[in-house]
Every structure is written in structure tokens, then in C-alpha cells.
Chains A and B, each alone.
Chain A
Amino acid sequence: MTPSRWAERAALPVAVAGTLLVIAVVFYYPVATVFSEAVVDAGRLTLDPLLSVLGDPFYTGVAHHLFVDPAGVPAGVLAWVDAGAPSVGGGLFGFTAYQAALSMLASVALGLPGAYILARYDFRGRETVRSLTIVPFVLPSILVAVGFLAMFGRTGALNGLLGAVGLGPVEVVFSLEAIVIAHAFYNAPLVIRLVATAWESVDRRQVESARAMGASPLRAFLDVVVPVIRPALLTAALLTFVFTFLSFPIVLALGGLELATVEVWVYARVQALDLSEAATLATLETLVSLVLMYLYLRYEGRQRATTGGGRPLPRRPLTTGWATLRSPVRLALAGYGVVAAVVFLGPLVSLLLESVTAPDGSLTTAYYEFLLAQQASTAAGTARPLPAVLNSLVYGAGTLLLAVPMGVVVAVVATRGGRGSRLAEAVLSAPLAVSGIVVGLGLLQTVVFGTVLFGYRLTAAGPVAVVCAHAAAAYPFVTRNVAPALGGLDSRYHDAARSLGASRLRALLDVELRLVAAAVLAGAAFAFAISVGEFDSTVLLAEGTDSYTMPVALERYVGNRSLGPNLGPATAMGTVLLAVTGLSFVAIDRLGGRWEP
């Protein structure tokens, strides 16, 4: 065997090992040290913290009976039915799951029509709109709160508009509705991007042959299109649930403490250094998410839908002149466009306006001058905007380059590995399901403070550590984009390549990945977005103000009172963040698009 041939054979196992090493160092080990606080007390295993949380009605509501007095549950249920089945409380976990379920439904409702338009209609700027859909994903919560107050607040733009036509006012903020809409703002882009990518991979020939064999358009849609988009839709819905289940700052910024989630308690317990209870709560959060993820992946593994290789469905023009007004579908889509404009563009445009509006309502450029002054400052501890922009781009690119191979490797293992591979994927998806607060705490205790090995205290920080941490957080997105597409690929492509003498690596790189290029590209865009938006581990691992990223600099400007107690400087930096990431997403899609077959 030639050396290059040997290298090709070894490449995949080496990539798997490398992936495992990275996530072990910057994710599993740090997180395990925190989670161990939940089950280890003074060096001994214990279930006490777990049982005390599960048995506390504040946390688990009516379900606490299961853990306090399991024998009494049947009698309790009978008594409850006797009493006419009054509504019962679900505790903090119950409420957290409830708001996550509502947020998931809202994100799907808001995302699905968007995916349909992007996949099936043609209009000017479609590619750009598609690239920009992930922008909300990177926005720090404090800015989402600013944008939402300016848009939906009592004196916000929406009430201004409604008032002008004699309606309203509506009270949206500081309610469950506000939280759900904000979660949809963050997560509907996930639905749009994942589903649109899947929809575009539907093979036109399959629809055409179904129709040729006499299937109605609806039948062809149900039999051919739905099986292809279902895994993407369910994946997006699942991810939305998992993220909003772990939601933290936005809940209190737009809702209030009465609408607190479990994560608010995790944060408070960590602040109080009650790490045992924090770890217990976080462990339970992660268990809920991972069980859901595993159940879903088992389901996905049983699905068979063939994708890739064919030509996509033709797109229809979105507008057809005056005839548009006679098309009920297009009118419905126009209605959707209005809703999407209010929910997505509303807060973003409000944010841009806030960045040029003084507290008295007049136009100002003071906040951008503030950014220039920060850039020119030599004072110690100043977070300068330009290095922050560059660092974000460098870390983002680094993350993309590291997370895409990692994610693809895990996707290959998950779709090819036989028994237990779905369980492996669920376990490897853990970075999605672990509280950011816990990851930060774990990194602090192991990587920043150092770990003693052979008498030496090993520490790590700086750009490479940041990129590794970002990649660990980002690669599951790549996997979740690529695995369904790879799993749906007709195995004959792979078999044909192998029988022609291609190594497994060559077959993967030259044949399979090319066929699912759109999914790889979507995963890459998400990896970049995760890196740019990441805050918790960046602020720990970045060394000094020179290695700050845009969100970290922005956080510094939030606390800066040199222009008075307002968020103007932060909104100006937020505008820079939006512009830089927006351009990056367009560039990623344009550059990556060349690689698509």
C-alpha cells in the first residue's frame, strides 16, 4: 500500500480521535468536574442533592410526590380525579418546559413559511435574505431587549403604528408572550435555514415521476417532499426546545423574575457558590435535553428519505405583477411577510435607530464617536472596537475550520456506525444540552485555574483555547445539519465510489459531501454564528482586552457610563456586530456556494 493510500485510510480514525480529544479537553472534562458536584459529597457518591431537588415542589411541582412518597401516588391521583382534576403546578422545571414548548411552536410557525418562500419562490435578493436569516442568532440578549422595548414597548414603534390607525395600545413586554416572541426571534432562523436547505434538496425527478404516475400534487408533496423536510423540521424544533429550555438572560430582561427558568436558578446558585445545587439543577436540565435528543435521533435513524444528487424543484416567481393580488397563496405569503417584518426587522431596525437617537429623541452620532474614541484610547482596560471585530472574525473562521470537520466526522459515525451510533451521537451532542453557565464554570475550574498533572499545573488560555471552546459548542450544529442529509443519501453513491477503488475518505470527500454540500454549508454558517455570538467561555479564555470579541467589547460598553446611563454605545457596537456578521454570512454562502455541485 502506498503511503498516501495509507494516510487516506488513517484519516477518518485520526479525525475521530482528534475530535474526541478536543471535546474531551474543552467540554467533557470541564463539565464533568461541575456535574460531579451533584453526586459526590466529600469524596463519596450520594444521591441526596438529586433527591432533595426532585422532592422539592418548588422545582418539580406536583411531580415531587413521585420522589417523596412514590407509594402514595396512586391514591393521590384518585383523590385528584375525585376533586375534578384541578390544574396542577409543574414547578420551576414544569414552567421552563412549558415556555420552551410554546417557544418551539412559535418558532416553527414563524420559520416554516419563511423556509417555504426561500425554497420555492424566486425574488430579487433571495440569496442574500437567505444568508442573513441567521443574523438574529448572534445578537446579545441585552440588545434584543433594547430592540424589543423600542419595538413592542408601551411607547414603542408598534404602538405608535397601531395608534396612528386608531388601534391599541398593546402591552407585550414583561409577559410570557414577550419571552416567547423573543425566543422565536432567536430560533425561527434555525427553522428557516434547516428546512429551506432540506427543501432545496428534494429531487425534482422524484416529484415529476410521482405526478407522471398519477399522484395528485398533494399526494406527491406528502410522499416525496414531506419525508425530506420532516427530519430537518423536527431537528430544528428539537434544537429550539433545547435552547429555550436553557434560556437565561432574555427571560428576565423581557419577562421578569416571576417567569424565571431553571437556568436563572443555576446562575443564582453558582453566584452564591452553592455548586452542589447548581450542578444538580444543571444535570437535570441536561438529562431532559439529552433524553429528548436521543429519542429523536432513534426516530430519525429509522426514517428513510432519499436526498441529493438530483435537480432541485423549480422556483416560482414570488410576485407576478397585478396578478399577485389574485393569488390567495401569494396574498397569504404577503401576510406572513408583514408578521415576519414586525418580529424580525422590527427589533433590528429599532436597534439601529436607537444607535443614532439621543435620550431626548434627537438625532446623534455620539455613540459612534464613542466607538472611535475607544479605538483611539490608550487607557489600560479599554476594549477597542477594531481588534474586537478582527478577533471575532479570526475566531469565527478558526471555529468554522475546526468545527466543520469535527461535525462531519461525528455525522459519519452517527449515520454509518451501526448499533449504538445514535446513542453516541446523542452523547456527542451534549454541548447543545449543557447550560452555558456550567460550561463556563467548568472551564474556569479546569482550564483557567489549571489541572495538576504529574506535579505540574497546566493552564490554557488565549486564541487557540477560545477557538477550541467555540468549536466544541459549534460542531453539533454541523452534525445536526449534515447527519440527516448524509443519512438520506442513496447508499449506491457510496458503494459505486468504493467499488471504483476510492478509499472511504475519498468517497466521503469527493462524492458524499459534495452531494450534501448545502447542508455542510448551512452547518458552517451556524458554526461561525455560534463563535461570533459566544460570550461565556470567550470572556474566561480571552487574555486581556486585546483578545476580546465583539460581544465581550459590547458588554464592556454596557457598563460604560461616560455618556450617561444609557445603552447608546452598546447599540452602536451592536450595529457594527450586525453589519460584520451579516456580511460574513453572505460571504460564507457565496464562497461556499462555489463548492456546491
Chain B
Amino acid sequence: MRRRTFLRAAGAGSLAALAGCAATPAGDGTTRVSRETIDGTPSGTLRVATYESFTGEGAAGTYLKSAFEEEYPGVTVEFTTPSNGVNQYIQRKQSDASVDADLYVGVNTDELVRADGQLEEPLFMRSRDVLDRADAVKSDLEIDPEGRAVPYDTGYISLVYDESAIEAPETFDDLLDPTYEDALITQNAQQSDPGQAFLLWTIDAKGEDGYLDYWESLVDNGVTILDDWQPAYNAYTNEEAPMVVSYSTDQVFYGADADLTRHQVGFIEDQGYANPETMARFADTDRPALARLFMDFVLQPDHQGQVAERNVQFPAVTDAQLDETFSELAQEPPEAVTFTYDQLQGNVDEWTEAWARRVVGS
């Protein structure tokens, strides 16, 4: 009889395990260790939430994991890659579900704005003032006035064009010229980071009152707005149009020996829109010191070089050790523009939605 009871219990347990069901007491313990420094040898598991392509064979995250674990043998870095990114954690906080991660790598400015707008309590904690390497970060990449999100690399949105088909437009108004009819592919700012960056760049250039009319003219001139960067770039590769909104590091993918005719980088108005990627510690983490250690590690000159090259982006610090070919092929715009946290707060969603409505309506 007792044996049967045991068997039944074991059976139920393994069924639950197979189903992946779990029941944990609701309302987690709130006593947290909140130390910013580590006494003795760092140890334990660091849970890093990030986007998918940061992990996997050869990716920046994989490099950082092995380098960090080599430096601190007691530490294990674990990645989690929720399909809806930062929203996953905003929604977890809203549902009173546990955050289950120590820091997020890959926060954009607009996501930080959204997190603050949606939540009463902060999602992230301050980091900038406790980092040893904070002063090495390029000041024009700082997007968070509160110092929670710290940049670790940046891309510059620019045009990539085919010099055998077209000359690079010098100004935004040039794009309205018949020369550039049906010539540009870009991305939906509602879905795509470079698409949103390009939209924000036009808002910077044309102003809050002028950008919608500008876009209406752009649509009249035959701009194609696809869902995301990959389909847009693929359409460009298939010669559907001679220009695409992309990144200024485009030539790095092909190398100096390749034919770069179709990989020319154009900076409209001699600018590029900077899209810094940042990392931030979750306010709910119980390993703030370990997460801080990781952030400082990412900002070291050698690791910055590796992250930049593997992400095909620019480093966020002034003293990164970069490969020479990378520096030759990755082009920086003469002037970088970007909207700060304060400028986007309360605006970015409205700007984007108004833009999308105008495009669909025209």
C-alpha cells in the first residue's frame, strides 16, 4: 500500500516534470543582499538576459561568457533570450512574476523610456556611478540621464548604396528628387531598430512639425518600407532598389578584397544616426555585485574590441583595442545624431504611430 502511494506520487512528479509544470509559492522573499562590491572570490551564476544573436557560436556573448568564466573560475554565465526582449521583463513586473535575470544586455533608448512609462517601480538600477570603467565610455553615447543603462557598443544608421547605379544623396531633400524615385528601401519603424532610427533621424532633420509631410513626399517618390532589416537588406541584395537603410559597418562583412561597388556607405547631411546598445542591471537582482563586475569586464579595452568586431558595431569606449582592418572598413559618420532619453520620453510612441498612420493613409 505504501509502495503504491509512493509510486503514484513519483508518477505524478515525473508527469509534471515532463509537462514542465511548476508550482512555486507566490510572492517571493523580499530580503535581498544589496552589495555593490565582492569580498573574496566572485562565485555563483550570473543570469544574462539578451537578444538571440548575442549568443551562439562565435557571437559576442559566447566570447564574453568564456572569457569571464576563465577570469573568474567560480562563476557561470547563463544566457536567456526571451523572444520579446525587454518587454518580457516589463510584463513580468506588471504580472508580479519574478524577473529571473540579473542584467539585460541590449537595451535601446526607447525600451528604457517604455519601461519607465509602464512601471511604477524601476526595472533597472543605477550602474554608471559604481563602474570603474564608466569614464572610458564615449560621452556622446550616454543615453540615460540616470545612469542605469550603460552603452557597450553602437551602430550608425546610414545608407548603403550601389555606386554603379546611383550617387549618394547629400541631403534629406535630395531623396525627394526624381533621381531617387523608387530608389530607397527602408524598414517599418514600428518593428525594426534601424527603421525606427531612420525615422528619428528624419525627425531630427525635419522637426516634429515637418517630418510627416516629408515622409508623405518620400512615399510619393516610391520609398519601399519592409518589415525588418533582414528582408530589406535581402531585397537590396536582389537589386530591387539601389539604396537601403542599413549600418555604416557594411563593408566589414565583405572585406577589403571584395568588390565593394554595392557596399558604399552614404551619410545623409554628413550625419549618421547613432543607435547605442546598452546594458543595465535589473533592480530585482540579488547579485548586483557580480553583475557590476560583468559590466566593467565588458567595458575593458580588449573585450570592447572583441564585442565590436563580433557584433560588427563600434565600441562604446575611447580606448578599445580594435583590429586594423576593422577600423579601415567600418566608417564613422562625420557627425552623429541621436535622441536622448529625455527627448524620446513621452514622444517616441506617438511619433512612430503618427508616422505609420500617415504612410498607410497616403
**B190 close to A268 (CB less than 8 A):** yes
**B23 close to A463 (CB less than 8 A):** no
Stretch binding the partner chain, chosen from B126-134, B228-236, B277-285: B228-236
How many Å lie between the Cα of A80 and that of B114 in the bound state?
44
A461 within 8 A of B: yes
Stretch binding the partner chain, chosen from B49-57, B150-158, B266-274, B327-335: B49-57
Q: Give the residues in chain B near A462, CB-CB below 8 Å.
A: 18-20
Q: Give the residues in chain B near A560, CB-CB below 8 Å.
A: 53, 56
- B73-90 near A? 1/0 per residue, CB < 8 Å: 000001101011001101
**A456 close to B24 (CB less than 8 A):** yes
B34 within 8 A of A: no
**A273 close to B114 (CB less than 8 A):** yes
B238 within 8 A of A: yes
Q: Give the residues in chain A near B224, CB-CB below 8 Å.
A: 174, 256
Q: How far apart are A440's CB and chain B's nearest CB, in angstroms?
A: 8
**B231 close to A155 (CB less than 8 A):** no
**A539 close to B360 (CB less than 8 A):** no
Q: Which residue of A lies closest to B118 (CB)?
A: A273
Residues of A360-374 contacting chain B, CB below 8 A = 360, 373-374
A87 within 8 A of B: no
A303 within 8 A of B: no
**B23 close to A457 (CB less than 8 A):** yes
**B359 close to A257 (CB less than 8 A):** yes
Q: Give the residues in chain B near A359, CB-CB below 8 Å.
A: 237
How many Å lie between the Cα of A58 and that of B90 in the bound state?
29
B8 within 8 A of A: no
How many Å lie between the Cα of A566 and that of B234 in the bound state?
7
Q: How far apart are B224's CB and chain A's nearest CB, in angstroms?
A: 5
**B362 close to A258 (CB less than 8 A):** yes
How many Å lie between the Cα of A219 and that of B38 in the bound state?
89
Residues of B126-179 contacting chain A, CB below 8 A = none
**A567 close to B26 (CB less than 8 A):** no
B40 within 8 A of A: no
Known: A267-B191, A444-B84, A449-B91. A153 touches B238 (CB 8 A): yes
Candidate in B59, B61, B91, B227 with the most chain A CB atoms within 10 angstroms: B227
Known: A462-B20, A561-B253, A565-B253. A540 touches B58 (CB 8 A): no
B25 within 8 A of A: yes
How many Å lie between the Cα of A459 and that of B88 in the bound state?
15
Residues of A379-397 contacting chain B, CB below 8 A = 379-383
Q: How far apart are A295's CB and chain B's nearest CB, in angstroms?
A: 29
**A273 close to B23 (CB less than 8 A):** no
Q: Give the residues in chain B near A444, CB-CB below 8 Å.
A: 84, 88, 91
B342 within 8 A of A: no
Candidate in B61, B83, B88 with the most chain A CB atoms within 10 angstroms: B83
Q: Give the residues in chain A near B190, CB-CB below 8 Å.
A: 264, 267-268, 271-272
A593 within 8 A of B: no
Contact among B96, B239, B356 with A154 in the assembled complex (CB-CB below 8 Å) = B239
Q: Which residue of B lies closest to A277 (CB)?
A: B353
How many Å lie between the Cα of A591 and that of B56 in the bound state?
39
A4 within 8 A of B: no
Contact among B25, B231, B253 with A142 in the assembled complex (CB-CB below 8 Å) = B231
Contact among B22, B78, B90, B238 with A458 in the assembled complex (CB-CB below 8 Å) = B22
Q: Give the residues in chain B near A381, CB-CB below 8 Å.
A: 52, 54-56, 59, 61-62, 79, 81
A232 within 8 A of B: no
Stretch binding the partner chain, chosen from A43-51, A110-118, A144-152, A195-203: A144-152
**A382 close to B57 (CB less than 8 A):** yes
**B56 close to A556 (CB less than 8 A):** yes
How many Å lie between the Cα of A293 and that of B21 in the bound state?
35
**A252 close to B25 (CB less than 8 A):** no
Known: A257-B360, A381-B55. A452 touches B26 (CB 8 A): yes
Contact among A268, A273, A373 with B356 in the assembled complex (CB-CB below 8 Å) = A268
**B79 close to A154 (CB less than 8 A):** no
A345 within 8 A of B: no
**B238 close to A155 (CB less than 8 A):** yes
A38 within 8 A of B: no
Q: Give the residues in chain A near B81, CB-CB below 8 Å.
A: 381
Q: Give the residues in chain B near A258, CB-CB below 8 Å.
A: 219, 225, 359-360, 362
Q: Which residue of A lies closest to B92 (CB)?
A: A449
**B20 close to A465 (CB less than 8 A):** yes
**A543 close to B360 (CB less than 8 A):** no
A450 within 8 A of B: yes
How many Å lie between the Cα of A153 and that of B231 in the bound state?
13
Chain B interface size, under 10 / 10 to 19 / 20 to 34 / 35 or more: 35 or more
Q: Give the residues in chain A near B84, CB-CB below 8 Å.
A: 444
Q: Give the residues in chain B near A433, CB-CB below 8 Å.
A: none
Q: Give the residues in chain A near B79, CB-CB below 8 Å.
A: 380-381
Q: How far apart are A476's CB and chain B's nearest CB, in angstroms?
A: 23
Candidate in A153, A455, A541, A559 with the most chain B CB atoms within 10 angstroms: A559
Residues of B1-45 contacting chain A, CB below 8 A = 18-26
How many Å lie between the Cα of A252 and that of B185 in the bound state?
12
How many Å lie between the Cα of A194 and that of B55 in the bound state?
43
Residues of B347-362 contacting chain A, CB below 8 A = 349, 352-353, 356-357, 359-362
How many Å lie between the Cα of A373 and that of B56 in the bound state?
11
**B191 close to A559 (CB less than 8 A):** no
**A460 close to B21 (CB less than 8 A):** yes
Q: Give the residues in chain B near A253, CB-CB below 8 Å.
A: 226-227, 231
**A457 close to B240 (CB less than 8 A):** no
A592 within 8 A of B: no
**B19 close to A465 (CB less than 8 A):** yes
Q: Give the residues in chain B near A382, CB-CB below 8 Å.
A: 55-57
Q: Give the residues in chain A near B225, CB-CB below 8 Å.
A: 252, 256-258
Contact among B24, B118, B227 with A457 in the assembled complex (CB-CB below 8 Å) = B24
Q: Give the residues in chain A near B360, CB-CB below 8 Å.
A: 58, 92, 257-258, 260
How many Å lie between the Cα of A108 and that of B80 in the bound state?
44
Q: Give the residues in chain B near A456, CB-CB below 8 Å.
A: 23-26
**B91 close to A445 (CB less than 8 A):** yes
A274 within 8 A of B: yes
**B52 close to A559 (CB less than 8 A):** yes
How many Å lie between the Cα of A359 and that of B188 in the bound state?
25
Contact among A380, A383, A455, A558 with B65 in the assembled complex (CB-CB below 8 Å) = A380
A554 within 8 A of B: no
**A457 close to B312 (CB less than 8 A):** no
How many Å lie between the Cα of A347 and that of B358 in the bound state?
33
How many Å lie between the Cα of A566 and that of B92 in the bound state?
34
Q: Which residue of A lies closest to B223 (CB)?
A: A256
Q: Give the residues in chain A near B52, CB-CB below 8 Å.
A: 381, 555-556, 559
Q: Give the residues in chain B near A566, CB-CB below 8 Å.
A: 234, 237
- B277-315 near A? 1/0 per residue, CB < 8 Å: 000000000000000000000000000000000001000
How many Å lie between the Cα of A273 and that of B91 in the bound state?
9
Q: How far apart are A30's CB and chain B's nearest CB, in angstroms?
A: 12
Q: How far apart are B22's CB and chain A's nearest CB, in angstroms?
A: 5
**B361 close to A58 (CB less than 8 A):** yes
**B83 close to A256 (CB less than 8 A):** no
Q: Give the residues in chain B near A154, CB-CB below 8 Å.
A: 238-240
Residues of A240-276 contacting chain B, CB below 8 A = 249, 252-253, 256-258, 260, 264-265, 267-268, 271-274
Q: Can you list 7 A-B contacts (CB < 8 A)?
A: A155-B238, A249-B227, A252-B227, A257-B226, A360-B259, A460-B21, A565-B230
- Beyond the given A252-B231, A253-B226, A381-B55, could you list 19 further A-B residue pairs with CB under 8 A, ordered by the A residue number? A58-B357, A149-B234, A154-B239, A249-B227, A253-B231, A265-B356, A377-B57, A380-B65, A381-B81, A445-B91, A449-B91, A450-B24, A460-B20, A462-B18, A464-B18, A559-B53, A561-B53, A561-B253, A566-B234
Q: Which positions in B face A, CB cutoff 8 Å?
A: 18-26, 52-59, 61-62, 65, 78-79, 81, 83-84, 87-88, 90-92, 95-97, 114, 118, 188, 190-191, 219, 224-227, 230-231, 233-235, 237-240, 250, 253-254, 259, 312, 349, 352-353, 356-357, 359-362
The 8 A-B residue pairs with the shortest CB-CB distance, nearest first, are: A462-B20, A381-B55, A252-B227, A268-B190, A449-B97, A257-B225, A464-B19, A559-B53
